[in-house]
Amino acid sequence: SGGVGKTTLAVAVYNSIADHFEASCFLENVRETSNKKGLQHLQSILLSKTVGEKKIKLTNWREGIHIIKRKLKEKKRVLILDDVWEQKQLQAIIGSPDWFGGGSRVIITTRDEHLLALHNVKITYKVRELNEKHALQLLSQKAFELEKEVDPSYHDILNRAVAYASGLPLAG
């Protein structure tokens, strides 16, 4: 479901593990980007970030599949695909596990668990709604960009926002 913090969680995971890999790429808003600019645009970003292919011009996403398959095998990479909505997006960007070097990791965020099953994803984690205390803490951090306590004068409005969002503090 939307607003539970899948992207926020994916960013935190990426930031904590990216340094342990030879190459990394975070593809945010896969659905929106593929709708606006095409799958080949996402493939170009992936190739640029992970193998340094800066000026690659793909004519279509099927061409991109062959290049990704050939170029990404050598290194241990971490790749995050955020907000995936169609199986075609997974096929075009990550194909199958043999596209990547040993020890590579691919993390996918989606609202559609069925997509993961279709792509034979073995390990899944369902992000649950936060309880009121944690929802309030996350909203405070995001709204005020601080780690410490928020001024008490804001407590009432923050509590009402959390109640309104029903445990989805990033909804909106």
Residue pLDDT, tens place only, 55-95: 788 888 999 999 999 888 888 999 999 999 999 999 999 99
- Averaged pLDDT of the chain: 81
Residue 129 has pLDDT above 80, yes or no: no
pLDDT of res. 24: 94
State which H helix or E strand residue 109 sits in. strand 105-110
Average pLDDT for residues 16-27, to the nearest whole number?
93
Q: How far is it, in rounded angstroms, from Cα 133 to Cα 135?
A: 6
Give 132 or 14, the one with higher predicted confidence. Answer: 14
Identify the band that residue 111 occupies on the pLDDT scale cut at 50, 70 and 90.
confident
State which H helix or E strand residue 49 sits in. helix 39-51
pTM of the entire structure? 0.73
pLDDT of res. 19: 92
Q: Which positions ≥6 away from 4 have C-beta within 8 Å?
A: 127, 128, 129, 130, 168, 170
pLDDT of res. 172: 44
